[in-house]
Every structure is written in C-alpha cells, then in structure tokens.
Amino acid sequence: MKMQSFTLLALFGVAAASFAWGQSPSGSASPAAAPAEQSPIPAYHTDIPPAQRRVFFGEMHLHTQMSFDAWTFGTRTTPDQAYKFGKGLPITVNGVTAQRAWPLDFMAVTDHSEFMGAIAQLNDPDSEFSKTETGQQIRAGGLRSFRVLAAQLHVKPTPTDLANAAKASHAWDVQMKATQDNYEPGKFTTLLAYEWTGSSPQGGNLHRNVFFSSDKAPPPFSSSDSNIAEDLWDYLDSVRARGIDAIAIPHNGNASGGAMYDWNTYRGNKPMDEAYVQRRAMEEPLTEIVQNKGQSDTVPELSPNDEFANFEIYDHLIAQPTKLSAAHGSYIREAFGRGLVIESKVGANPYKYGVVGASDFHNGLSASDENAFAGGAFGIDPKTMSPSAAVAKHTLTLGTPPLELDADAASSPEPVIPAANKDRPVRGTALENSGSGLTGLWAEENDRGAIFAALKRKETFATSGTRIRVRVFGGWGFEPKIIQDRDWVGRAYAEGVPMGSDLPAKPAEAHAPRFILQAAKDPDGANLDRIQIIKLWLDGGTYKEKIFDVALSGKRRIDRKTGKAAAVGNTVDLKNGTYRNTIGAAEFTTVWSDPEFDVTKPAVYYTRTLEIPTPRWSTLLAVRNGLPIPQGIPPTIQERAWTSPIWYTPVKTD
C-alpha cells in the first residue's frame, strides 16, 4: 500500500458509519425459508480427552476489498490473499511484499454483507458497474466516495446499480471458495463468516459477526434486510434448519452508545423476558472484548477502583468523534453484572458471554504484533510497509481528521484537532486506535469441528495482541497441592469446569469456590506482571465488583491498607523503543479461593493477566522515524489477556 494514502485513511478504518435505523440497503439476499423438515446439525465428537486440548490463536474480524468501506480506503486485498497472509505466506500488496511475522492457527474473513463485493467491481474499468453513474462517482471520488456510498445506504430498496454490482460480483461464492481453498485441517482452520452492519436509532454500533460451522452457507442476511438483531437471529435459525450451525458475535460494544448491553430488547425496547433471554444467550454465546477500536472490558467511569481500567480507550461513536458513546450499556464487565440482575428477575441471563479478540482491520492484513501497526485500521509488515518519516510525523502530530472534516485537511502541515476534542486531543485521530486483538481458545485439534465447538462452549480468551496463554478452572474441591500433580489438567476437567462454564452445585461441605489459574508469557514477548480475578456479584437489586490480585511477580505483596500491590516496575527505554525482561514472571500457576464468598449471592468470575510495560505502537513509530513521542497518549502499555467467565448460581430452595 502507498504510505501516503495509508495515513490519509488512518482514521477511516472504521467499518460502516452510523446508518439510519432500518434503512441500510444491501445487495445480499434475504434468508431462504427453512425447509419443512429440519436437517440435524452434526454433533462434534472426538476421542481426544479434554486434558489434551491445546491452545490456538486466531483472527475473528477482518475486512478485504469485498467490503464497501475497505475498498474506498484503498484496499485491494482479496479474501484468498487475506487467508494466505494469515497462515504466514508472503503476498503482494500494491506491489509490496508483505508477510506475517508468525502464522495464525485459525481465521475468519468477515466482510460487510451490505452489497458485498459490489465496489470491487470497479477494479475492472470495463465492468458494467464501472460504466454506471454511481460507479464513476465512486471511482473519481476516492476517499470521498465513502460519503457517496453512505448516502446510498440510506436509500431503500438498494439502488439498482449497487444491487446489480453486488450480484455480478458473486461475492459470497468468492468468500466460500477462499474459505474452502485455504482450509488445512491440522495446520490452519478457516471459518466462513461475514459482518452484519446493524446500528441503533441513535447511531450506535450494533454490528455482529456471523460464523458458520461449514464452508458453505446460504447468502448473508444484511442490515438492509433488517436492522434489528432479532431478525438476524431468525436467519441463524433458518441456517441451522439446513443442518449448518451458526452463531453471531457482537462487535466491540464500546461504540454502541449504550445499546449493545442494554436492559431491554432491541425490537420494541421492552424489558427482557425469560424466553427472550434464553434465545439471545443461545444465538450469541460470545462477544468481542478488544480490537482496533479499543477495548470493551470497562472504563474508569464504570470501574473507578480499577487501577488498570484506563487502557486503550475509544469512547465515541465511530463516525462521530465529538459524540461520546454512553459508557453504561457499552462495556462487558457491566454486562456481566447486569446479567446477574436480569437473571434474578426473569430466571435467565442474556449476558453469559465468552470473550474473543480481533483486529477489525480493513486491508485484509491481520497482524497482531505492536510493531505491525501504524495507526488507522490497517495491519502492516513492519519490514516492508512501515510509513515514511513524513507520513509518520503526520500521524503522530494528530494530523488525521475525523470523518466529518474534508479529506483534503489531511494534507495540511498543521495538526487538525476538532475544538470539541481539546479536552482529550487524541479523540478522533489515528493515535486513539489500537493494534489488533487476538482470540485464544482450547481445542482438541486445529480443525473446523474442534475450533467451532470450542467457540460454542466458550472455552476462549482474548488478548490485546500478545500470545499470552491462559486457562482457568473452577470447582469446589481443588486443593493448593493439585497443581503439583502431573495430571492436574485432567483432574481439573474431571473435578471442575473450564472457563465459559457454570460451577456445579455447591457440595454441602464446601465453603467457597476454588479456581486454578495458569498463565504463560508470549514466547516472543514480555514477562507477566500479575493475574487478577474480577468478581461481580448480585447485591440486592444491583451488582458490585471487586478485583483480586491472585498472583504477583517478584516479591510483592498486597498492601493491607489499600488492598493493592505495588507496580511491577518499568524497563522500557523510550529513546530506543525497547524493554528488558528483567522483571516479571514467565509463568504463573496457582489456586485461589474466594475469601468473600456468600453462598446466597450469584456471582461471575473472570481473569485478567497483565504483562510488564512495553512500548506502545505510537512510541515504536516515533522511534523508528526519529520523531518525538506523541503527547496525550501513554508511551507504554501493559498488554493483557481476559478469559471467559465462570458463573456461580445458588441452588434454589422451596
């Protein structure tokens, strides 16, 4: 990719802008009616015992030229190229060779369903779409063509030119073929998927990524077919009726304007009842906690006692940097607490989510190392695609404008900072974007059946891009010495449950649940600072949260007065953009029992593992180009991993 356009587009790596409610046209087909007799979904079976499950890392959210927005941002990477890059093969991007630093284990291309493939028809100047007025406008408009498309998105039915172009692209056939061609069982698993681009009436992001258990599936259901999530679930049901399993995973909720994890239904904005809650939990077993547009665990506003909550904050609507996204209803930790409250009222929990991480990059290059990112929504090969000093300077001096400013402003030598953002100058600029997240999961084998089964049972975790390996088990009888047993993993599965599960009923003799936690550093990355358990529990008509430091590196101890541990330290050399693994630990394995357990109160537990501080991508970019480290953004970060939770529900007594 040409680096000048790379930075010009930096902020615009945002999937579709905030579309009007119920008005997002598409060239996709409506779901076919379910057959009269439903086809059974083949059950996953393996003779490999759970104790032999291995960890695999993958990409769950990525766009190519088949997405209308990605094409206007300059992307010409195909789904086939994206998969090849993901598996570690070299590909050519605009004349430049690009190769991932290390191969992924599994991956999904999730192009937008809204007129998928239509705009890529402009690659051929002789295509019918290239000859239309709409096609000529888009081709001539460059980046401004995003506005042309946004205007067309508000027209229903889909404008004829776009509908015809989408049909001519055979985009879904292209996606299915790329998924099938790049599947290498035992080595690299591809997941057929796409992104449904829904939004709230207020412009909040309610996108879902849809995944199939097969490399073939009916045409996608788009937000122009319906902009209401419940209708997407109907589509998923129709797919399952054909014998293909399917799930939806909500997009990072931080930009949802409070709508992603609301108290009410999407259709009708009504209080949830038990049937609705059970269905929602079945259709959407997982949610995205981290990606290019920040993290959706929590923020200081919601978790004021969490000293690590101020991490990679992206707190506004995607297309409107000056319009803040309401914190309440946008973050997963609060959703876990709200789920306990809702369950106490209706008998079921809509927010029993496992967690995943992803990139949401819009150039088809899934690169998760911190040095493989330079702003915006694009992965890079740092050896061949690192921006020039001039482009880097522009990015690091807050020069990338928000969407509502004219694209020509990006060529201005002076930083462009919206007046409304003076309180937090990085908002609406390339500097607020994060590198890629990753999904980790535990599965028996690296094939589609095992990977999909792991996703459905929620034995997953997410990282901010690092390959921290984490696992958690919950039970009632784990003794501290269990981890000395060579077969402790087998015993943990036999005597307890892994992350993503419910604790079994409490035995009469048990006092509190016990958890086995293990975390190992990225083999090529930083040492570990600590493991924490984040607990939320029902308290009256609301919920509370508390963070416990479970394992600390070095000789640190918990301060009795503050309840917190001292910082791990910092070995980062900002002058050279390096760090040293002279502090921290390579691995933790420990058993923890909840010291404040109340048998009468439902609770949810998940873990957060922190690395020692390392240079942020913005610091690395500055150092590589001999530029000042930008102000208004931390120069270092503590990469982290979050596990799917384990839930405790008291046994009801008559």
DSSP 8-state symbol, 29: P
Nearest Cα to 162, choosing from 198, 116, 126, 225?
Answer: 116
**b/e 364-381 (16+ beta carbons within 10 angstroms → b):** bbbbbbbbbbbbbbbbbb
Q: Is 138 helix (H, G, I), strand (E, B) or coil?
A: helix
Entry field: residues in the chain = 654
Whole-model pTM: value is: 0.92
**Interacting residues of 282 by C-beta distance below 8 A, sequence separation 6+:** none
Domain boundary among 372, 401, 429: 372
Distances (CA, A) of 80 to 21, 449, 639: 33, 21, 30
Nearest Cα to 312, choosing from 633, 642, 641?
Answer: 633
Please report which residue ranges of 63-107 form alpha helices under DSSP H.
68-72, 79-86
Q: What is the CA radius of gyration of the chain?
A: 24
DSSP 8-state symbol, 98: E
**Interacting residues of 602 by C-beta distance below 8 A, sequence separation 6+:** 340, 343, 344, 537, 538, 647, 648, 649, 650
Residue 137 resides in a domain: yes
| 487 and 363 together in one domain | no
How do residues 519-549 score in pLDDT, each as one tens digit?
Answer: 999 999 999 999 999 999 999 999 999 999 9
Nearest Cα to 256, choosing from 194, 322, 327?
Answer: 327
For strand 189-196 and strand 106-109, is the pairing parallel, antiparallel, or unpaired?
parallel
| 187 and 330 together in one domain | yes
What gap in Å lies between CA 319 and CA 75, rounded to an integer? 19
Nearest Cα to 292, choosing from 247, 255, 347, 246?
Answer: 255
What gap in Å lies between CA 182 and CA 613, rounded to an integer? 36
The pair of three-digit structure tokens given for residue 612, joined into one six-digit string: 């020692």
| 368 and 261 together in one domain | yes
Residue 180 resides in a domain: yes
The pair of three-digit structure tokens given for residue 269, joined into one six-digit string: 């904005």
Domain boundary among 355, 372, 389: 372
| 366 and 472 together in one domain | no
Domain boundary among 372, 396, 425: 372
What gap in Å lies between CA 317 and CA 14, rounded to an integer? 10
Domain count, the chain: 2
Are the C-beta atoms of 318 and 245 separated by less than 8 Å?
no
How do residues 256-281 score in pLDDT, each as one tens digit?
Answer: 999 999 999 999 999 999 999 999 99
Nearest Cα to 361, choosing from 346, 350, 372?
Answer: 372
Determine how many CB atoms are found less than 10 A away from the CB of residue 177: 14
**Interacting residues of 561 by C-beta distance below 8 A, sequence separation 6+:** none
| Beta bridge mates, 208 | 196, 250
For strand 497-498 and strand 587-593, is the pairing parallel, antiparallel, or unpaired?
unpaired
Backbone angles phi, psi at 129, to 5 degrees: -65, -35
| Beta bridge mates, 637 | 614
Residue 233 resides in a domain: yes
Are the C-beta atoms of 604 and 545 separated by less than 8 Å?
no
**Interacting residues of 470 by C-beta distance below 8 A, sequence separation 6+:** 440, 461, 517, 518, 519, 520, 531, 607, 609, 641, 643
What gap in Å lies between CA 13 and CA 318, rounded to an integer? 10
What gap in Å lies between CA 349 and CA 607, rounded to an integer? 20
What gap in Å lies between CA 383 and CA 90, rounded to an integer? 12
**Interacting residues of 160 by C-beta distance below 8 A, sequence separation 6+:** none
| 43 and 192 together in one domain | yes
| 366 and 473 together in one domain | no
Place of tokens 């991007």: 93
Nearest Cα to 502, choosing from 212, 281, 247?
Answer: 281
One-letter amino acid for residue 305 of the chain: N
DSSP 8-state symbol, 128: H
Residue 69 resides in a domain: yes
What gap in Å lies between CA 400 and CA 148, rounded to an integer? 21
Residue 349 resides in a domain: yes
Backbone angles phi, psi at 73, to 5 degrees: -80, -5
Q: Which residues of the chain have pLDDT under 50?
A: 1-36, 154, 401-420
Are the C-beta atoms of 246 and 233 separated by less than 8 Å?
no
Determine how many CB atoms are found less than 10 A away from the CB of residue 185: 12
HEC string of 283-336 equals: HCCEEEEEECCEECCCCCCCCCCCCCCCCCCCCEECCEEEEECCCCCCCHHHHH
Determine how many CB atoms are found less than 10 A away from the CB of residue 35: 11
For strand 603-611 and strand 640-643, is the pairing parallel, antiparallel, or unpaired?
antiparallel
What gap in Å lies between CA 553 and CA 548, rounded to an integer? 15
Are the C-beta atoms of 173 and 166 separated by less than 8 Å?
no
Are the C-beta atoms of 433 and 292 separated by less than 8 Å?
yes
Residue 292 resides in a domain: yes
Residue 425 resides in a domain: no
Backbone angles phi, psi at 587, to 5 degrees: -160, 150
For strand 636-637 and strand 469-475, is the pairing parallel, antiparallel, or unpaired?
unpaired
| 148 and 272 together in one domain | yes
Nearest Cα to 422, choosing from 636, 632, 635?
Answer: 632
The pair of three-digit structure tokens given for residue 264, joined into one six-digit string: 């009410």
What gap in Å lies between CA 299 and CA 327, rounded to an integer? 8
Residue 109 resides in a domain: yes
What gap in Å lies between CA 45 and CA 65, rounded to an integer? 36
Nearest Cα to 430, choosing from 405, 401, 458?
Answer: 401
User: What's the confidence (pLDDT) of residue 141?
Assistant: 78
| 59 and 198 together in one domain | yes
Which residues constitute the domain of residue 248?
A: 3-372
Distances (CA, A) of 62 to 37, 311, 606: 35, 22, 26
Pseudo-torsion of CA 378, 379, 385, 390, nearest 10°?
Answer: 40
One-letter amino acid for residue 615 of the chain: P
Q: Is 246 helix (H, G, I), strand (E, B) or coil?
A: strand
Q: How far is CA 534 from the centre of its chain?
A: 20
